[in-house]
Chain A
């Protein structure tokens, strides 16, 4: 019998709601589901919302009865916000969040590096916004609850996973005992300690780093702006690194590395936490300022991924698929990209719009992203928490030089999570004009947002299927293209046509964007009428043409949806 706690989790700033468990006895017998999503974190809920957007129903299982403990993921990137916009929660994130774009690195009391993340006037969202994970989960959960295609089940813990012939049988334990749930597909979004990954005995590739970090959230009134602060080798914690972030609701996140040999249990003792936080506050000139502990935890840096996310009818996503170090805000931000990708790939396979090759493509693209992140995150980790020996010596040499030498300072800029470009995706069109463009987002790239007017951006108009941006100042989409689009839509493929560049509504287009000053056309590098971009349902570019014709449009869909 699974008995998750019914005690609301403690928090200074967040009131946890304890939800009622879903019990099989209160429902009719269970038919075989199309998709069961195991895990109700950011990866699981975004997958369910994206699936629903494409008309695919899912059951979401959470072992707990409430949102996760503590702030956990707090920094969300622009691309994450663009993805959250697609599933309808970006406004709430923006309302409660603290946006920022500057980071500071300190050594021996001197600011040795200031990171300035670019903020293009064409972007709706800031490079990063800080929101505590409980709020993000609440917003996503509200969106799931409002969606008739999502069957959300609290207090349902998966205890067994059996691959059958073309489906999966799950044993799900609940506060009234277990029941059996069959599903054609299972999305394992059950987090870094994925029980499904363990049960299936899957090995991850990559490295684990020595050393532990404490995460502590404290309520304190510090007079610093919302910027990241990193302190290297402070005298109260020699050789180690401390990070500080402002969170909403008067909370500050303090991360600090533990001296070698110290156990996580010792580090989390209240007296140990207090001594170290007091020492950090003293170092930054705020000794004695009152503070209150909200939540603390310990983590170690790992760069591990499954080499394939699809195993039979079980698909791994988010932390269940890979473990990434937090330097560079890569956990939840990578999970959103995984989930957005999985949502449409899986939905299109279920709807018969493409063969299972599409799922192989999802795995190839997202494993590629994980490997790229691991490569970058490895570099960051070797600077933030260097292994003993050569890396430690080099890091210390850079700290020392940085007091006087400009050229080493960029090494303080650990790379921040960014969307992976699927440059070599098998979905990219072969016969288009990608190579002939001088600018604009290329094959596999995420879209470039463009400001169209007050509170009006290009990405507000995209998503839910393929988007064809067709640049023209004429009154009609050419008939031959319209024929092709009709044929594609007749197969059930959702396509939206967005005409760009005409002051009047263009016949054959779903939306017309006037683009009176030609700015959108310029950002996309389209020199003349008849140019076009085809965006996948995750808005990544899969084809672009200087002059689009019906044959090549047909070919692009053929490539993007392998049969």
Chain B
């Protein structure tokens, strides 16, 4: 976001964009939230940092 050099590459972001969209549809409307929470926990584990996760939560809560 503020450090473009640390951002995901455009092609990778596009892969994530499409896969996340189709996965939400795969999960279906009833399970979409559950799926997204599982994904967030897996990502948090990969981050190994509650602090970084918190900044992501704050950024995602903005402008809803």
A-side residues, CB < 8 A to B, are 393-394, 396-398, 400-401, 405, 407-408
Contacts and interface: CB of A to CB of B under 8 A. Distances in A.
B37 A397 contact: yes
Interface string B40-55: 0110010000000000
Contact of B33 (A393, A398, A405, A408): A393
Interface residues of B, number: 7
B10 to A, nearest CB: 30
Given A394-B37, A401-B41, 9 more contacts: A393-B34, A396-B37, A397-B34, A400-B34, A401-B38, A401-B42, A405-B45, A407-B45, A408-B45
B45 A393 contact: no
B59 to A, nearest CB: 18
22 contacts: A393-B33, A393-B34, A393-B37, A394-B37, A394-B41, A396-B34, A396-B37, A397-B34, A397-B37, A397-B38, A397-B41, A398-B41, A400-B34, A400-B38, A401-B38, A401-B41, A401-B42, A405-B42, A405-B45, A407-B45, A408-B41, A408-B45
Contacts of B45: 405, 407-408
| Chain B residues touching A, majority SS | helix
A401 B42 CA distance: 9
Contacts of B37: 393-394, 396-397
Contacts of B41: 394, 397-398, 401, 408
Interface in B22-40: 33-34, 37-38
Contacts of A397: 34, 37-38, 41
Contacts of B34: 393, 396-397, 400
A396 B32 CA distance: 13
Nearest to B48: A407
B37 to A, nearest CB: 4
A6 B37 CA distance: 56
A397 B49 CA distance: 19
A542 to B, nearest CB: 36
Contacts of B38: 397, 400-401
A393 B37 CA distance: 7
A397 B39 CA distance: 9
A394 B42 CA distance: 12
Contacts of A408: 41, 45
Contacts of B33: 393
A398 B33 CA distance: 13
Contacts of A401: 38, 41-42
A401 B38 CA distance: 7
Contacts of A396: 34, 37
Contacts of A400: 34, 38
Nearest to A396: B34
A448 to B, nearest CB: 32
A185 B51 CA distance: 50
Nearest to A398: B41
A405 B40 CA distance: 13
A401 B37 CA distance: 10
Contacts of A407: 45
Max chain B C-beta neighbours (<10 A), residue from A394, A397, A405, A408: A397
B27 to A, nearest CB: 11
A402 to B, nearest CB: 10
A396 B34 CA distance: 7
B61 to A, nearest CB: 12
Nearest to B45: A407
Nearest to A400: B38
A405 B34 CA distance: 15
Contacts of A398: 41
Of B34, B38, B42, B45, most buried by chain A (CB within 10 Å of CB) is B38
A482 B38 CA distance: 65
Contacts of A394: 37, 41
A405 B33 CA distance: 19
A160 B36 CA distance: 57
B12 to A, nearest CB: 23
A95 B50 CA distance: 47
B29 to A, nearest CB: 14
Nearest to A406: B45
